[in-house]
Amino acid sequence: MHATGTHPAVQADAAIRAAVAPVAPHAGPLPGLYDADALRRIEARAIAAPGGDPFELMRRAGRAAWRCALRHWPQAQRIVVVCGPGNNGGDGYVLARYALDSGRDVRLVHLAGHAPRSELARRALEDCRGRGVQPSVFDGMLPPADLVVDALFGIGMDRAPDTEVARLVEAMNLHPAPRLSLDVPSGVDVARGSAPGAAVRATRTLEFIAPKAGLRTGPALDLAGPLELALLDVAPELVAAEGVVAEGLSVTQLRRWLRPRPRDAHKGLFGRVLVVGGDHGRGGAAILCAEAAMRSGAGLVEVATRAAHLPAVLARRPEAMAHAVERVADIADLLERADVVALGPGLGTQPWGRVMFGAALAAGRPLVLDADALNLLAARPRALPAGTILTPHPGEAANLLGTDSGRVQADRFEAARALAARHDAVVVLKGAGTIVAAPGRPPRLLDGGNPGMAVAGMGDLLTGVIAALRAQGLAPFAAASAGVALHAGAGDAAAADHGQRGMLPADLLPWLRRLANPKAEP
């Protein structure tokens, strides 16, 4: 938080603001998310622990999978279980055994040359054979079924499937029955959250032991469907002993950062946000950003924009202090007194936008960069003030990294980490499964938001939300984390009201206010 040393009153306000900064005093750790390597180590520790039995762990997985199937498809009588050669296939064989014991008609399918290779999977298959069921080799068609179980590869797939596997995956996806994937939809690279080739499109995925970061961002979100977790009675301390690769983030955690305000509060305690943007024809972006900052609790919001946009700003939001700026001299005082600068909504990349961009960076104030501010940074990389927050969508991230959006989406974690390291900044990589990254710490992964938010102007809202939380005293990483959770929560609430299609950014504004005031836990 900026405070000017020559003004004692400003220093006093900054000190008071720090004292009331909305950080919960006893917030516990955020939920941990893991990758495939971590899960293998956890499983090995569970097996090595006293009383550990690898086949018993497989039995628990298969039993949990069968219970999941019964919960969601209790009427399913014909079940096809597609098994791979490893332990994920073994989990499928155990599920099949329970289904057989329940009187279901079970068909086991595997690829030629994909008979069980692990001792555990062979043992599980023998249990099925003991009940009179033999696996059949996939011949291009799957039998009729009420449920298809994907037990091909689990966490073991990190490359594009070969032709025969791809044919089997396609047959599963074309089958009219629902698909239950065990641990990970086959074909998904769980380390990156992408699918390098064909992948099962699961109706539902049951994870084992611990949640996986790679199923919660990018293409994997659509492929996995709704997620459930079976802990398999693995001791919590064995999971906790493994370092997380990401932390989970959701709207339910907002009270971690947003606590009730003191009764004697005044607007000076909650920060001054300056929105810089709105070149000709782009004023709406700056207005949306300013409104979001107000509804998220900033004490005062100023808008530096083109003179032509002042009437619209004042008509739409008279509480904002609107200023016409054409030259550096026009914006210098505004930058000097700002606590946080939201730079980019409607900024453009023409001379006016470039002048405003350069002036804002030179001022050294805390920044939240979005939209054309990111494009200008990509065109001319430069050092950023400490604590800067970047909010790119995949296309903007690709520009900043000198690559294409396909590569960004292929490994969103790596893209976010690379941007944070390159610019020494907090990065919010937007999109399905938004990632918040910063140098030297695990990223945070958002569980929230919906496709209705894929509309112009939503990013302008997010910029305003994050800037407001930063102005209220949150550190950059916390402001970005709380901001994406608040923004996504508002989007989900608005969608629940009237549906996703046709949702506008302004529909989120009332919800931003409601959710920015979380009720204390009883």
- The reported pLDDT for the residue numbered 520 is 60
pLDDT at position 90: 97
Q: What local confidence, expressed as pLDDT, does residue 5 receive? A: 41
**By C-alpha distance, which of 218, 214, 148, 216 is closest to 182?**
148
Coil/strand/helix, residue 119: helix
pTM for the predicted model, two decimal places: 0.92
Quote the pLDDT of residue 397: 98
pLDDT of 519: 80
Structure tokens at 110: 């595997």
Q: Which DSSP letter does residue 233 get?
A: T
Residue whose C-alpha is closest to residue 171's, from 203, 139, 197: 139
Ordered per-residue pLDDT tens for the chain, 522 residues: 344 344 443 444 454 344 444 444 345 678 999 999 999 999 999 998 878 899 999 999 999 999 999 999 999 999 999 999 999 999 999 999 999 999 999 999 999 988 899 999 999 999 999 999 999 999 999 999 999 999 999 887 778 889 999 999 999 999 999 999 999 999 999 989 999 999 999 999 999 999 999 999 999 999 999 999 999 999 999 999 999 999 999 999 999 999 899 999 999 999 999 999 999 999 999 999 999 999 999 999 999 999 999 999 999 999 999 999 999 999 999 999 999 999 999 999 999 999 999 999 999 999 999 999 999 999 999 999 999 999 999 999 999 999 999 999 999 999 999 999 999 999 999 999 999 999 999 999 999 999 999 999 999 999 999 999 999 999 999 999 999 999 999 999 999 999 999 999 999 999 999 999 988 654
Q: Residue 273: how many CB atoms within 10 A of its CB?
A: 33
pLDDT of residue 13: 47
State residue 439 phi and psi, 5-degree precision.
-60, 135
**Domains by residue range for the chain, with CATH:** 33-245 (3.40.50.10260), 268-515 (3.40.1190.20)
**Structure confidence at residue 7 (pLDDT):** 41
Give the Cα separation of 312 and 331 in Å (integer): 19
